[in-house]
Structure 1
Amino acid sequence: MTDPRVTLYSRPGCHLCDVAREVIVRVCDDLGEQWTEVDIDTDDALRDRFRDEIPVTFVDGRQHDFWRVDEQRLRAALRG
């Protein structure tokens, strides 16, 4: 198994996080990619860093999006 290419930083009860997760699952399933999710409320530093931007999406260790995940943009990043 390979390391996840996509990381979703989120928090429970976040509607935008739920929508972002749906997009990430769909895209990663279609492309055979792994992804992971991190609850920012489990780490003070993450909460301080991302509190006003969640959901935040990273691809290959670099910030890709925040607030919303554009499906086509995510697909392009994972293909490129």
Structure 2
Amino acid sequence: MADVAHPQGHSVTVMTRADCPACETAERDVERVCGELGVPFTVADVDTDPEWRAEYGDRVPVILVDDAEHDYWSVDETRLRAALGG
């Protein structure tokens, strides 16, 4: 997983899978929050890696902040903003 580090050291990854409506919503939410705060994010499909599928597969979408699990199933925008310093 190649996160792009923010100048302040933050990175956000949305662990997702194809044909997942909750994942699409989470991606839009993360894109909006990260866009407002100037924090880059990446999206990774859990089904492309057996370890990711085993770790996150039953809880997607999973939001990682600085490579640590932050949220799953949905995005808590207030909590995400706080974690990113916004």
Partner of 1:18: 24
1:3 to 2, 5, 28: 5
2:55 to 42, 49, 52: 49
Percent identity reads 44
- Does 1:39 find its partner at 2:39? no
Tell me the amino acid that sits aligned with residue 62 of structure 1.
A
5+ residue gaps, structure 2, are none
Q: Aligned with 2:82: secondary structure?
A: helix
Report the count of equivalent residues.
79
Structure 1 distance, partners of 2:34, 2:76, is 13
Partner of 2:71: 65
Tell me the amino acid that sits aligned with residue 78 of structure 1.
L
For residue 72 of structure 1, report the CA deviation from its aligned partner.
1.1
Partner of 1:79: 85
Tell me the amino acid that sits aligned with residue 74 of structure 1.
L
For residue 48 of structure 1, report the CA deviation from its aligned partner.
1.2
Aligned-residue CA RMSD (Å): 1.3
TM-score scaled by structure 1? 0.92
For residue 60 of structure 1, report the CA deviation from its aligned partner.
1.1
TM-score scaled by structure 2? 0.86
More helix by share: 1
